[in-house]
Structure 1
Amino acid sequence: MPTIPESTKTSLAQRLRAHAKDNWPQLVAVHVRYHGQFAYVDGELTDGERLPLMRLRYGGSAHRWGTAIYVASKDKYENQIWLSASTEEVFDLVCDLHVGPIAP
């Protein structure tokens, strides 16, 4: 089981926060916590509610992650396979599902 280096933890959190700031104004913060080979990503809404969004499994480099989407109805993460999606693209998909589109 590979351990996530501190530099990768830092870069992942910075990339996701920057992406959310530019693309998801409904989120006031993105929280990333780590346990073993996993990174758990939550989004914080403007009212302070925190939503579990996804779990990433470290794949040996800062840009190689397995992904699992949080499924609220089951209260668990379900693994997904995207062969060419970036972490930011997966984040967008998950935010589309959990946060929703920006109101006109």
Structure 2
Amino acid sequence: MNTKKVWMHTPDAGGVKIPPPVRSRTTERITRYAEAQYGGRYSRLDIRYRGVFCYIDAYVEPPEPSPELLNITGETREEFMDRLRNTPVHLCRLRYFGDEEAWGLAFYTYSNERYELCMYRSGGFLGPVEEAFDIGAMYLSAE
């Protein structure tokens, strides 16, 4: 009886811890691409790493609140604006498998408040960080 284990690569499990040089290059790629393609749609990006994951969040300038909305929230205009300016918009989570051109992608679903496996527009489960940003950027409104 053959008891050899067979490892199957799945895009929503496993991965390789992201080394510091890859983190640095990835942050630069994402930042450069985001500014070129989406500059003005966010005030700042937060790109952070944890183990096999790269999380990309954006911060946006909130619209002016109506008096009715401020009445509901019980906040002053300044409190409301400060709270929303400091609330991240979760764009996506990338999973590293050892290839800087082939990251797994999970899209943040606000309806479920969790990251869900997502395919790239090519129909595959692995792709470059720039394409991942494009998918997550749907949460950044066009100016």
Between the aligned residues of both structures, percent identity stands at: 27
Q: TM-score, normalised by structure 2?
A: 0.64
Q: TM-score, normalised by structure 1?
A: 0.85
Question: RMSD value over aligned CA atoms?
Answer: 1.7
**1:40 to 2:55 alignment:** yes
- Count of equivalent residues: 101
Hey, which bits of structure 1, 4+ residues long, moved more than 3 A?
A: none
Instruction: Identify the residue that residue 10 of structure 1 maps to in structure 2.
Output: 24
CA distance in 1, matches of 2:37, 2:16: 31
Query: 1:81 Cα shift?
Result: 2.4
Instruction: Identify the residue that residue 20 of structure 1 maps to in structure 2.
Output: 34
Which blocks of at least 5 consecutive residues in structure 2 are unaligned?
A: 1-14, 63-84
Structure having the larger proportion of residues in strand? 1
Which blocks of at least 5 consecutive residues in structure 1 are unaligned?
A: none
Higher RCO, Cα 8 Å, sep 6+: 2
Instruction: Identify the residue that residue 111 of structure 2 maps to in structure 1.
Output: 73
8 Å CA contact 2:58, 2:90 repeated in 1 = yes
Change (3 A) 1:85 1:66: closer
